[in-house]
């Protein structure tokens, strides 16, 4: 079956512009996560959705970052007034969240964002 | 605070065993994971261990957990050139507290 997909795969923008990054999770997965991976670093948690609602947005760095998941499937990460420091690979993951214990997160290939 | 530490590089010869080490700080972590990332590819879950286990074996992979010292290791037996990648250790809580906390990754180079 299809895995997690993310579009675009690459995005180059200018400082100050607005960008949207899209994630299509695996069908039926109720949990969706966004992470950011800077060069030479591990992925860093941004936000977690359970269904349509953001269950934990404690990783969003500031109010320029916002994410939505209006129908509990596709999610969009929105970044306003981009800064050069926002350049990174943005990873999306989904999980079936079937039970209270272990739930594997399946990662997409990421969107590489470059802010000039 | 939460922190996961790994050494950054490891180089081995093909056929040798590789051991990648990780330390974590949050003793309430429920699950500990090893992910593999190849160039241009997404993160792939290799294996995980529940915090009440000491060891888990899965084909060429052996995970050892020392909960007292908060130390996790991944051993890859008979390392192949195809195992060259970056390996990330991560800790998590499972269930409704879903986010993972990753280390910076260990780059494994396998020389023929």
Q: CA quadruple A28, A29, A31, A37: dihedral positive or negative?
A: negative
Beta bridge partners of B44: B36
Q: Do A109 and B94 touch (CB under 8 A)?
A: no
- Condensed to tens digits (0 to 9), the pLDDT of residues B1-33 reads 468 999 999 999 999 999 999 999 877 778 899
Please tell me the distance from the alpha carbon of residue B101 to that of residue A108, in angstroms, as a whole number. Answer: 17
Distance from CA of B28 to the nearest CA of A (A): 14
Contact A42 B50 (CB under 8 A): no
Nearest chain A alpha carbon to B88: A42
Q: Could you report the per-residue pLDDT of A29-41, keeping only the tens digit for each?
A: 999 999 999 998 9
Distance from CA of A107 to the nearest CA of B (A): 6
**Given an 8 Å threshold on Cβ–Cβ distance, is A95 in contact with B103?**
no
Nearest to B35 by CA among B71, B81, B74: B74
- Cβ B100–A45 below 8 Å, yes or no? yes
Q: Which helix (H) or strand (E) holds B107?
A: strand B106-111
Contact criterion met (CB below 8 Å) for B99 and B32: no
Note the Cα B14 to chain centre separation in Å.
Answer: 19
Cα–Cα distances (Å) from A25 to A40, A110, B23, B29, B53, in that order, read: 26, 12, 31, 25, 31
- Omega before A8 within 30 of 0, i.e. cis: yes
Q: What is the pLDDT of residues A55-113, one digit of tens each?
A: 889 999 999 999 999 999 999 999 999 999 999 999 999 988 765 566 788 999 999 99
Candidate from A50, A56, A107 with C-beta closest to B43: A107
pLDDT for B1 equals: 47
Phi, psi angle pair for A49, to nearest 5°: -110, 140
| Degrees to nearest 5, angle at CA B96 with A7 and A9 | 10
């Amino acid at each position: 079956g299809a895995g997690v997909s993310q579009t675009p795969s690459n995005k180059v923008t200018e400082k100050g512009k607005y960008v949207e990054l899209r994630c299509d999770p695996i069908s039926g997965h109720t949990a969706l996560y966004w992470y950011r991976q800077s060069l030479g670093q591990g992925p860093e948690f941004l936000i977690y959705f359970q269904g349509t609602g953001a269950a934990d947005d404690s990783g969003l760095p500031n109010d320029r970052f916002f994410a939505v998941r209006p129908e509990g499937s596709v999610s969009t990460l929105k970044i306003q007034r981009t800064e050069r420091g926002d350049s990174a690979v943005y990873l999306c993951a989904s999980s079936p969240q079937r039970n209270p214990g272990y739930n594997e997160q399946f990662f997409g290939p990421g969107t590489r964002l470059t802010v000039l | 605070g939460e922190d996961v530490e790994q050494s950054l590089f490891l180089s081995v010869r093909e056929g040798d065993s590789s051991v990648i080490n990780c330390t974590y700080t949050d003793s309430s972590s429920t699950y500990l994971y090893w992910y593999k990332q190849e160039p241009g590819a997404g993160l792939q879950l290799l294996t995980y261990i529940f915090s009440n286990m000491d060891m888990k074996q899965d084909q060429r992979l052996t995970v050892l957990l020392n909960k007292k010292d908060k130390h996790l290791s991944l051993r890859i037996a008979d390392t192949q050139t195809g195992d060259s990648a970056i390996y990330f250790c991560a800790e998590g809580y499972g269930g409704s507290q879903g986010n993972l906390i990753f280390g910076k990754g260990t780059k494994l180079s396998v020389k023929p």
